[in-house]
Amino acid sequence: MNPPVILFQDQRFVVLDKPAGLPVHPGSAGGSSVEDWFPLLSRRRDGPWLAHRLDTDTAGCLAIALRKTPLIEAQTAFAQGRVAKTYWAVVRGGPAEPAGTLDAPLLRRDANRQWRMIVDPAGLPAITEWRVMGTGADAQGPLSWLELRPKTGRTHQIRAHCAHLGCPILGDPHYGGRNAGEGRLHLLARAIAIPLDPPVAAVAEPPAHMRSALALCA
C-alpha cells in the first residue's frame, strides 16, 4: 500500500486523504486498512486513534488523533455537532430545487444478512443541507454535482438522503438502484473543520474516478 497523502498535520492530528475502497478498520477476512498506516504517523505507544469514520467506498478527509486528550476534544466536538463537514457527490438526475435542507430520520433495517438505512419516522434524527453545484449528462442521462453538509452523523446519511431525494449517488451498491454498477462510489469527503484551539482544517481534491463526471457537471 502506498504511503498516505497527508492534508493536515500538527502534534495533535493528521488528516489523511483516504482512498476510495480502503476500509478504516481491518475486516474479518484481513486485507489493507487505514490502520496499517498508524505506525507511519506516530511512534507513541498510546495511539493513533480514528477521530471519526468514513465508509469504505468514500474518499477524502479522515482525521486521525495522535494524542489522547486531542482525541477526546475532537470526539466531543463531533458529538455536539460543532464539526463542519462538506461532501461532494455526483448523482443520477438531480433535486427539483437548487438548494435545500433534508430533515429525514434514518433507521437501520436488517434483512437477508444485509442491512441498509431507510427513512423512517422511528429512526434517529438526520439532517443534511445540500445545494446543486452544477448539472450535466452522460450517455445514461442527467447528472448533478451536489455539495452536501450533514448536520448529524448517521451511518450512510449522505447516501440514504441522496436516494431519498430521488437522485442516488453514482456507483452506490446499496442505494443506487440501477446506477449501482456505474464504477466506484462518487462521494468525496471534501472538507473538514474541527473547531479546536488551534483549529484543524483540511480540503481534499476529487479522486481520479470522480473527475470526469464532475467535469460533465461543471
The pLDDT of residue 176 is: 80
CA–CA dist 102, 126 (Å, integer): 8
Render 101-130 in DSSP notation, one character per residue.
EEE--EEEEEETTEEEEEE-TTSB--EEEE
CA–CA dist 151, 148 (Å, integer): 10
Q: Which residues pair with 99 in a beta bridge?
A: 131
The pLDDT confidence band at residue 194, using thresholds 50, 70 and 90, is very high
CA–CA dist 126, 59 (Å, integer): 21
CA–CA dist 162, 178 (Å, integer): 14
Task: Please determine, for residue 44, whether its predicted confidence score (pLDDT) is greater than 80.
Answer: no
Phi and psi angles of residue 8, each rounded to the nearest 5 degrees, phi first: -155, 145
The pLDDT of residue 112 is: 75
Residue 203 DSSP class:
E
Residue from 80, 69, 70 nearest 15 by CA: 70
Region 196-205 average pLDDT: 98
Which residues, 6+ apart, have CB-to-CB distance to 215 below 8 Å?
A: none
Type of residue at 215: A
What does the mean pLDDT of the chain come to?
Answer: 93
Percentage of the residues of the chain whose pLDDT score is greater than 90: 83
Maximum Cα interatomic distance, the chain, rounded to a whole number of Å: 53
Task: Please determine, for residue 86, whether its predicted confidence score (pLDDT) is greater than 80.
Answer: yes
What's the Rg (C-alpha) of the chain?
Answer: 17
Please list the active-site residues. 55
| Cα-based angle 100, 105, 106 (whole degrees, multiple of 5) | 115
Q: Which residues pair with 192 in a beta bridge?
A: 85, 202
Tens digit of pLDDT for each residue in 54-74? 999 999 999 999 999 999 999
Task: Name which residue leads in pLDDT, 178 or 197.
Answer: 197
The SS3 assignment for 32 reads: coil
**Contact criterion met (CB below 8 Å) for 69 and 49:** no
Roughly how many angstroms between the first and final C-alpha of the chain, as a whole number?
32
pTM: 0.94
Q: Domain 6-217 belongs to what architecture? A: 2-Layer Sandwich (3.30)
Tens digit of pLDDT for each residue in 100-114? 999 999 999 987 778
